[in-house]
Structure 1
């Protein structure tokens, strides 16, 4: 080797100038590191860009200002934030956090809040579909834009407050649980961990599953009614009126299903009792799954929502800058 052993040992440290207290850098093949940087950066850019299209679409066009779309807007904002957070995750590929303890705390805290807000938004989406399918005659009076905006605001505020209480020790003293310089570790107590597990996963996921099971049962019964020759005429009219709502329920059901599949691994680890301490590097796989889900949502919209495809066309052709473009029929 061209380097003496002392220099080789220093090269493996995150901060060679702090020889006795620096964390060790992960020894990964150069090709693997470059590939991970490219993949993570691409997902980050794609996630932020696609969700920005959703945010612009729903915010700009007045016809899209429906209660359901306001919930999708809230979800897109959290997904857009996930895309931005992914750029921080690229800093942990070699196992070294170079941005300091405060930025580590901000990064981890935002990740917790966004995750909690996303799950809360999913509960609201499930409830919206439940009312639309099971109580269609009361939907327009029960689910209004004003009430949905209040629910979204409360969802985000509760996420901020709840996660602040859960992570209070980490927020008081950033870097408190780091064992060496260059680490980005978060530790929460068992009580806080179980509280987070209950209120950020078990309770909301149970509500989502119960609501969508109810929606599924009603959808199946209505589908059978349309095929029955002895079905009442009024029932047929009711089913016809709910056709678009059923389609929306299927699309949003797919969004919820993908969300659950991407979020369950972390909470399954928590349920198995692997511990409440998790460094950012060891949680990379779980976080990347969450990021990948955020990238998938706009793609699902593009496949199932004609209004999203039309709005993308108007955005790319710069027609949204035309006078009264916000009143375009979608």
Structure 2
């Protein structure tokens, strides 16, 4: 009986303080590991393609694409760092120590919150492009976008250390036994700062974009008899901006759909046990957003499909390949 009890402990040498292993069927464990590992690998590969595409081809160095590049970096880190550690947390026991546990959550908050801030920045970019198109090029410059991106990452680091300050001062203080990876967060503050405020901002901005886009479409139809050349140029520019807004609107909508289940369950007051099947499912539904973004680009951005083709066929290794016109066949 004593041998059996020791086998059920995370640390058999610590009989009185060790956590007990929460066993699950082997088939369920295998399915979870394979599925989550596949999502993690796919997230890394797809976002790496986005990073290489926008970084390599000079034609793609636009303010909007710089935001997409930084978003791809955060999504890449989700697949490369956050997801693998999340797979470890699904294990019955945590063997990497209390400090590594807290540092993982610090890294988790930095990366995930960075993705959310980039969604807000993308919404602001589309808001200015549609609602104030004449001053877009002067308001949204590459230098300003770089500064905003840098500030967003700095704020995420600051917020993460501030949010987990108690856990960093004494790692493991909230563990009830050895073999746990538990942190203490203020649930209400987390939901308000990480979900309600930014999502409300995004929705309000895109509602405004939608209203202005509809009014512009009606104005273009009412002036269809205007000077043909001038009208055609105006319509082309506005169609391009509207298409970009629609595509990035899909990105934002998918983000909301992925993260809503987790925060809705949190708002309902339900207690999610770390490592439980429900918790694993909701967390990875949220993290799968990082994998879906490049898939959206594939469907909506022809330049991304062309860039991927050049990368996969190693044509980017040729001299002057960075000057390739990846927009030539896709310009409207």
Which of these residues, 98, 102, 106, is aligned with residue 101 of structure 1? 98
Superposed displacement of residue 260, structure 1? 0.7
**For residue 113 of structure 1, what is the aligned residue in structure 2?**
110
1:66-105 matches, cutoff 5 A: 66-84=62-80, 85-105=82-102
**For residue 245 of structure 2, what is the aligned residue in structure 1?**
249
Instruction: Tell me, in whole angstroms, the C-alpha distance in 2 between the residues paired with 1:230 and 1:64.
Output: 32
Q: Report the secondary structure of 2:178's partner residue.
A: coil
**Are 2:141 and 1:144 aligned?**
yes
Superposed displacement of residue 310, structure 1? 1.0
Moved more, 48-57 or 257-266: 257-266
Q: List per-residue Cα deviations over 1:44-74 (Å, max 9, x = no partner).
A: 1111111111111111111111100110011
**For residue 213 of structure 1, what is the aligned residue in structure 2?**
207
**Are 2:123 and 1:129 aligned?**
no
Q: List per-residue Cα deviations over 1:7-38 (Å, max 9, x = no partner).
A: 33222222222222221212211111111111
**For residue 181 of structure 1, what is the aligned residue in structure 2?**
178
Q: List per-residue Cα deviations over 1:190-226 (Å, max 9, x = no partner).
A: xxx4333333222211111111001111122222334
**For residue 325 of structure 2, what is the aligned residue in structure 1?**
329
Instruction: Tell me, in whole angstroms, the C-alpha distance in 2 between the residues paired with 1:232 and 1:173.
Output: 70
Query: Structure 2 length as normaliser, TM-score?
Result: 0.90
Unaligned runs of 5+ in 1: none
Instruction: Tell me, in whole angstroms, the C-alpha distance in 1 between the residues paired with 2:199 and 2:263.
Output: 11
Moved more, 40-49 or 18-27: 18-27
**For residue 41 of structure 1, what is the aligned residue in structure 2?**
37
Q: Report the secondary structure of 2:95's partner residue.
A: coil
Superposed displacement of residue 251, structure 1? 0.7
Q: List per-residue Cα deviations over 1:262-312 (Å, max 9, x = no partner).
A: 11233334433457xx76425433321222111100000011111111111
Q: 2:224, 2:231 within 8 Å by CA — same for their partners in 1?
A: no
Which of these residues, 295, 298, 303, is aligned with residue 302 of structure 1? 298
Q: Report the secondary structure of 1:186's partner residue.
A: coil
**Are 2:157 and 1:163 aligned?**
no
**Are 2:148 and 1:154 aligned?**
no
CA 1:56–1:186: 2 relative to 1, 3 Å: same
**For residue 286 of structure 1, what is the aligned residue in structure 2?**
282
Which of these residues, 190, 196, 202, is aligned with residue 196 of structure 1? 190
Instruction: Tell me, in whole angstroms, the C-alpha distance in 1 between the residues paired with 2:264 and 2:209.
Output: 26
Q: 1:88, 1:107 within 8 Å by CA — same for their partners in 2?
A: yes
Q: Report the secondary structure of 1:242's partner residue.
A: helix
CA RMSD of aligned residues (A): 2.0
Q: Report the secondary structure of 2:288's partner residue.
A: helix
Instruction: Tell me, in whole angstroms, the C-alpha distance in 2 between the residues paired with 1:55 and 1:98.
Output: 34
**Are 2:302 and 1:315 aligned?**
no
Instruction: Tell me, in whole angstroms, the C-alpha distance in 2 between the residues paired with 1:273 and 1:167.
Output: 22
Query: Structure 1 length as normaliser, TM-score?
Result: 0.91
